[in-house]
Structure 1
Amino acid sequence: MDDVKKLPSEIKSIWRLDAGINFISLLIVALIVWLIRLATSGSFKTVLTTTISIILGAALVILLIQLALIPYRWNFWTYYIDERQVQLHHGYFFRKQIIIPIARIQNVTLKQGPILHWKNLQKVIIVTAAGSSEISGIKSSEADDLKELIMKLAREARNDL
């Protein structure tokens, strides 16, 4: 695994679904405000109507931005593993590079919810004493191999200290 890897393209559909869930959540908030509006009268009704419009407009803008940025997000999310470190790179406007020394890794956890399971992906969580970092979605078979590789490298690095 000496080369820079990208997330599998299946993660894009997960991100699209996530954007849709966020959109639906905001629609539910707008519906609740609309129901409150029906129960009120007077000038407060105008405030609630404006609030509903703002929520719906924000929901649509957020959905469109999230969907438009998925290709960029996928292109700029990479990871690299060698015998000394794990590097995670992500971000399109504000680049973030996380370098985790192999010797500092305490645990590697695989996590898979129903949405990731649907696309046969798993989240790889790398835990150190300082916190944790994650690789958003790796194919399940590759995630198991990645976990074993990182833990093997971590054991070897600790034995060298």
Structure 2
Amino acid sequence: MYTELKNQIDPAGLKVWRIQAMINAFIFLIVVIAVFVLTYFFDFYSWIQYTLLGIWIVNSFLTIYLFPKIRWNRWRYEVREEEIEIQSGLFVVERTLVPMVRVQHVETVQGPILKRYNLAIMSVSTAATIHMIPALRIEEADELRARISRLARVAEDDV
């Protein structure tokens, strides 16, 4: 068995994910409406439009309401002296260990929706991969970025 990681992302991240899902659902709705218009003018099978509408309804419910909540409950992280451990996933929980000696750089990113909720995404880059911790309070992300940078330098000096 494994122990639960200490840190969870900010609850406002749930709102951000839902807003992003609503934007995607709106774009999908425009496609569904376009299909309705095309089937009206070109006499396609009407079951196509109703199937797409049903898919849109189910997809919107899952991506706006259900999946963000599950994803938020799963997201955890912990920064230790020697490593960063990240837990994520929707249906399959994935746990990743990033050794401090492998960290090349750390950055924070903040888009317009994240900025509205005073959040940022922190990404940790190694030679091969980029690991992200989404929806951290901007102050926490800046503090964490500085701490990881300091620990990565110390780990590099020890090697």
Same fold (TM over 0.5): yes
State the identity as a percent.
Answer: 29
Q: Structure 1 residues 30-39 or 18-27, which shifts more?
A: 30-39
The equivalent of 2:6 in structure 1 is 4
Q: Which runs of 5+ in 2 are unaligned?
A: none
1:37 Cα shift?
2.1
| 1:121 and 2:119 correspond | yes
Q: Is this contact kept in 2: 1:26–1:55, CA < 8 A?
A: no
Q: TM-score, normalised by structure 1?
A: 0.90
Give me the whole-angstrom Cα distance separating, in 1, the residues matched to 2:152 and 2:70: 32
CA RMSD in angstroms comes to 1.4
Q: Which residue identity is paired with 1:85?
A: E
Q: Is this contact kept in 2: 1:85–1:100, CA < 8 A?
A: yes
SS in 2 for 1:8: coil
- How many residues of Structure 1 are paired with residues of Structure 2 in the alignment? 154
The 4+ residue runs of structure 1 with deviation greater than 3 A are: none
Q: Is this contact kept in 1: 2:39–2:49, CA < 8 A?
A: no
The equivalent of 1:137 in structure 2 is 135
SS in 1 for 2:92: coil
1:77 Cα shift?
0.5
- Please list, as runs of the form range in 1=range in 2, the aligned pairs for 1:83-122 lying within 5 A after superposition: 83-122=81-120
Give me the whole-angstrom Cα distance separating, in 1, the residues matched to 2:111 and 2:83: 27
The equivalent of 1:153 in structure 2 is 151
Q: Is this contact kept in 2: 1:26–1:56, CA < 8 A?
A: no
The equivalent of 1:52 in structure 2 is 49
